Structure 1
Amino acid sequence: MTAIRGNRRSTLAVLALAVPGLLVGLTTESSQAATSAAARSWSSTPDGFASTGGGTTGGAGGTTVTVTAYSDLIKYATAGAAYVIRVNGTITVPNYGYEIPVTSNKTLVGVGTSGRIKNGGFFLGSGVRNVIIRNLTIGDTAVASDDPDDKQFDYDGIQMDTADHVWIDHNTFTNINDGYIDSRKDTSYVTVSWNQLGNHNKTFGIGWTTNVSARMTIHHNWFHDNTQRNPSADNLAYAHLYNNYLQNISSYGNYSRGATKMVLENSYFDHVNNPYYPDTNAQLKQSGSIVVNSSGKKQTSGSAFNPHDFYSYTLDAAADVPNLVRTYSGPQADIGL
């Protein structure tokens, strides 16, 4: 599934074909040049915490199917066997707000930019593991006129309750009633990367547990024109946030709650109220981020942890983040083909 954008004769493109994922980890000095030349390559397997503890491969090794109808999507998403499910076109969920239950060992991926889940979302329940949700537009469940504070209807884009090994990548969440993403009840080994989450109230909540065991990586996401939970991270053992772009946030940005240990690196905050801060008992270690046109809390506390102890990664320069994330977040034409 790896694909290269741009001039395939360039040196960088040739290298990327030989080494999938190489361009995701370019040095600060070369990142801007690479963006205009060979751009980005997209691996079919995740980085971050979803790559640890045995890794996350979704439906790899199972049957690949292409679906255009809701009945087929339900059939394969809930099946006991492994499937790579290619969503080609818009699939409308007939029961408004219904979260399709996804079972273990599944990849759900949009075909290019065509894949859309309309009037519904996905649910990963207790014991569900090894799931990839990728390259889709998810939403159209808002009932704002009846539920202005998102308290009456629990229609989420993706809700996870005690799931593990999940990769949420290159999706656009739009016009959803409650949470775009709710990661709940000790869901762990999760990577959330290159998504667009904008024009919303309760964007991305993590927690709903007194345990402190979850591990999550959140990188290269575009949070824009939101109110709260960007994300709110409660009682995570390890929360690693880097190269995210937060723009026009009215309540708070990155919030480390409970006993969370959060590491925040090379993100970009523009017009954000309370860009980042921890609770009294939480930790937040920050380095390399840029904050402009913003006010309120920019607080750190404690040493948190060292993400390099768990996996390898290379940061993009914070100054490059707005352009990179605006350009390459959300569904991509060369994924899912």
Structure 2
Amino acid sequence: MNILKISAAAGLALGLALPAQAQTVNESVCGASPGGLWSLVGAGLDAAVKAEAPGSTITYQTSSGGLANVVQVQTGACALGMANDGDLAFAKAGTDPFKAPVEGLTALAVLYDWAPVWWIARADFAEEYGLESLADLAEKKPPVRLVFNRKGLLTSAITEETLAALGVSIEDIEDWGGSVQFQASGEQTTLMRDGRVDLLANTLFEGHSSLTQMSEATPLKLLSVPDDAAEAVIEKFSLKPWTISADANPGEGGDVKTVTTSIILFATEELDEETAYTVTKAMLDHPDAMAAVSAAMSRFTPEGMKEQAVVPFHPGAIRAYEEAGLM
């Protein structure tokens, strides 16, 4: 009898010493194209959650991007979604294309915020017209052949709005003898490499391969974003200021001031608190799983996950951050 009592007591003590098993999570996350960075981030999220709660699965679901993902998450097609800060800001405010404010959106984490907006000019064109910043473009009105990213994407909206803040419209550029087109990132690179455009506007990671491709074909010059224009788009799209370092500048000219976008993992407030907690804690406990998916994600850190104020954090995410001493 005494032996049984001792065994039972030992077993109880052992049970109390074991860490609690994290809740298994089997949910989907809406991203973007099947082969892009967001799909790799989705794979990293799945790996982190599996490490935190064995038996879990985060299934990546393709989508047309952040704006669509807000609707997908709102309607329950996906439990989690990825979106730009500006997408969530527009949804929260009910700005077009949303017909009314979308309520109940919450954040789990910032996935990355190091994809700044680049204004890349051909160096010979910039030298010919004395261009150092977008303010010079607005003042000197050169016949610039400009290419934005695809119409309807947040990047193109940000860059168009940046020029608008300086009093420049597409019609103005055409009146100067220039032209404006909207093309995907790959086509933008080809156009610049082939000398068919003078100025390119896009969000890119520092060290992106397209920067090398373009700079090998033609000398480049980065144009800075004036403070007033930066402040205008930061306020409208909930962006952050950014400085492209001299080391990352593919041309000459040192550091260049611009703005940057954030990609946020979000859900509705109806997401189960334990699920939100486990997913957030998985990234906090296993940041290496997130950073390993791509060189572009190597900057991922737990500290950066909470650097947003577009929508409130989910209560489950807050609990995870508080436990980690980050909130």
- Larger relative contact order (CA 8 Å, sep ≥ 6): 2
Task: Give the structure with the larger strand fraction.
Answer: 1
- The TM-score normalised by the length of structure 1 is 0.27
Task: Give the structure with the larger helix fraction.
Answer: 2
